Chain A
Amino acid sequence: MKMRIVFAAVALAFGTVSANAAEVVVDQSAKKFDKKKVSIKVGDSIKFTNSDSITHNVYSRKGMKFDLGAQKPGASASQVFDKAGKFKVRCAIHPRMKLDVEVN
């Protein structure tokens, strides 16, 4: 019974990510993303972590529309990229923080 519960919990944890999808981590610090460009496949996700001492707000407006909301220092949030294309991801508070995401 215990094994079944453990197995169910593990399956649930991984259930939101499809079988072969990868997750790339992009960190924010010193008012910068730690990468300028990320190339991923459709269905992959990017996890945005905030190691900075200030709040950031990751969003994208054209093509892929999402807004991860205010991220205080230490927070993290993931975004799945479910369509192909080239997208510009930015911080809404610090517009000089830019990340190009290419999804194939």
Chain B
Amino acid sequence: MVPLKRIFGFSLSMVMATAVLGQATAGPVTGKSRAEWKKEYVRPAETPFPEDNPYSKPKAELGHKLFFDPRLSGNNYISCGTCHNPSFAWGDGLPKGIGNAMTVLGRRTPTILNLAWADSLMWDGRFDTLEEQALGPMAAAVEMNQQMDQVVGELQEVPEYRALFNISFPGSGITIENIAKAIATYERTVVSGVAPFDRWIAGDEDAISVSAKRGFDLFNGKANCVACHSGWNFTDGSFHDIGLGDKDIGRGKELPGVKMMQHAFKTPTLRNVVERAPYMHDGTLKNLYSVVRHYNDAGVSRPSRSQKIFPLKLTDAEMDDLVSFMKTLSSDDTHVVLPRLPAVDQSLAGSIKGVAPAAGGGQAVPSKSAKTCGGGFMHWVSCNQ
């Protein structure tokens, strides 16, 4: 019969050994060759669409019009495309978004690239689907400031919209839900194209430079970027505190009881990252060198900071290689054509009826109809869920 003390002592040393080993393996994932890593980055062949909102060409085209139609905002001058501007890879090039009455918003405008594959939307992941997310900024007083009980009426005054909705949604026509479905369908078609990196993955050794290939090795090795920016879309879809210095607690507001979610924000894609400066949820990192230096220094040390963040000890040459690599993720995409938006009702009857634009008038008037259920950034979250 082994004395209890000896069992305890042995167990304790095993626990400590595991803890030490655990620390050692918290570092970069090693053991895979470059060829093995390349297999993790193959692009998907198709874009997924959900069963309850399948793709159709008329619906995507209707969504394209709605996405760029400023009449969806209270003042009729902000569209989704105002902030999610295709010329800035679907962002706005600003450190933080600017909304109604030039209100500076709380976080940087994220890109809408590749959101067909997104597991959650917004920096804090508060929306599960694109359909839910599409209505949020529309109703938010500081963003598009639309009166949601009036937007359907406004669109119904436009004959072409009535027709387009009847084609895409026979039987239901113009409804808030269908507006969201059409916009979401269009958004799912916004996919970053084939980049030099993809051609290299597919076997063209001349597609990217030797420096960029070294950068790829660092990305998956010493720099440990792959820990979060994994897969063809360079995101794990999860949330991490990467040690940034601002007070925004991100997903911590949604999950106050979970330590690792405090100061945690969604991992964005790195596709076309060169065109999407400045960086981070607060727009504080100016360019890709700023970003690499932040990760090299590991930022603010606190209990919620991800264990995947630690000082990297990169040399200047290694930082150059990483930036070279990230530059290969930019695709020469087909230029987005702005839609011709449906014209107002030009009939005699139309001149008499006339519907006033939904209230807004330059002031940030809180939307009366949208029942906000939380969110310090006044994003619309339905209370009925």
Contacts and interface: CB of A to CB of B under 8 A. Distances in A.
Given A95-B125, A95-B237, A96-B238, A65 B257 contact: no
Given A61-B385, A94-B238, A95-B120, A88 B128 contact: yes
B250 to A, nearest CB: 12
Nearest to B236: A96
B261 interface: yes
A62 B385 contact: yes
Nearest to A92: B255
A70 B257 contact: yes
B249 interface: no
Nearest to B238: A94
A96 B260 CA distance: 17
B7 to A, nearest CB: 20
B239 interface: yes
A71 B385 CA distance: 24
B258 interface: yes
Interface string A18-56: 000000000000000000000000000000000000010
Given A61-B128, A61-B385, A65-B385, A92 B258 contact: yes
Contacts of A92: 254-255, 258, 261
Interface string B223-240: 000000000000011110
B119 interface: yes
Contacts of A69: 257
A96 B289 CA distance: 30
A86 to B, nearest CB: 11
A69 B238 CA distance: 17
Interface in B87-119: 119
A93 B385 contact: no
A79 interface: no
A62 B131 CA distance: 14
Contacts of B385: 61-62, 65
A88 B132 CA distance: 15
A4 B255 CA distance: 44
A65 B258 CA distance: 18
Interface size class of B (residues with CB under 8 A): 10 to 19
A57 interface: yes
B119 A96 contact: yes
Nearest to A57: B258
A55 to B, nearest CB: 6
Given A57-B258, A62-B385, A69-B257, A93 B128 contact: no
B260 A55 contact: yes
A75 to B, nearest CB: 13
Nearest to A98: B119
Contacts of A90: 128
B151 to A, nearest CB: 23
Interface string B252-285: 0011011111000000000000000000000000
A38 to B, nearest CB: 18
A93 B237 contact: no
Contact of A95 (B238, B257, B258, B260): B238
Given A61-B128, A88-B128, A93 B257 contact: no
Nearest to B120: A95
A55 B254 CA distance: 16
Contacts of B255: 57, 70, 92-93
Contacts of B258: 55, 57, 70, 92-93
Interface of B: 119-120, 125, 128, 236-239, 254-255, 257-261, 385
19 contacts: A55-B260, A57-B255, A57-B258, A62-B385, A69-B257, A70-B255, A70-B258, A70-B259, A90-B128, A92-B261, A93-B238, A93-B258, A93-B260, A94-B237, A95-B120, A95-B125, A95-B238, A96-B119, A96-B236
